[in-house]
Amino acid sequence: MPRKKRIWLPNYFYHIGNRGNRRDPLFQNYDDFLAFFHILQRLHEKTPFEIASYCLMTNHYHLLLRSQEVPISKLMAFINKRYANYFNTKYDLTGHVFEKRFFDNIIVDGVGMLDVSRYIHLNPVVAGIVKEPESYPWSSYFLYKDTKPEPPCYMNIESVLDFCDGSIQQKRESYCRSLRL
């Protein structure tokens, strides 16, 4: 039976995720996380896209992503293929790195943007890895919390913060407060 064709609406964000094959780790050390970010950086240079929130867990990842020029399927094929090639080469493996095709859910409104971004940033807290989202180094939460770091070129946190009220600082504070369990 053929796979269901994915729908791509260029002006919408999607909650994207993928998991390691057999739930095996996708990221075994610091360099693996950096390699994934490097792939995002290089891809963005050729094919612009936006990420509003991300979280890279040990055996899966979440992205809140929008691509206005290239279908999400093509973008994700490039990301996953490049990462799988890196991973298999580094660990002298062959075969599947990812369990199956990535999942995608379209986000249709501001409530959805806020809810999905919170879900993504709370993933390591709910998993019991950290007590607070700011303690997890592999999520975009620090970009919401602190104005000092320069965000990667593909990041667009304003697309989430625009659904909060007040000045930019008030929006940041409101968003971060909303993640307290």
Domain residue ranges in the chain: 13-177
In this structure, which CATH number among 3.30.70.1290, 3.30.365.10, 3.40.50.300, 3.50.7.10 belongs to the domain 13-177?
3.30.70.1290
Overall average pLDDT of the 70-85 stretch: 95
pTM value > 0.85: yes
| CA distance linking residue 82 with residue 60, whole number of Å | 16
Report the percent of the chain where pLDDT is more than 90. 88
| CA distance linking residue 148 with residue 115, whole number of Å | 25
Provide the phi-psi class of 22: left if phi over 0, else alpha when psi is between -120 and 50, else beta.
Answer: left
Rg (CA), the chain: 16
Overall average pLDDT of the 135-154 stretch: 93
Q: What is the pLDDT of residue 146?
A: 85
Could you read off the pLDDT of 102-111 as tens digits, one per residue?
A: 999 999 999 9
| CA distance linking residue 135 with residue 170, whole number of Å | 22
Whether the predicted pLDDT of 153 surpasses 90: yes
Q: Which residue has the higher pLDDT, 100 or 79?
A: 79
Structure tokens at 104: 């995608």
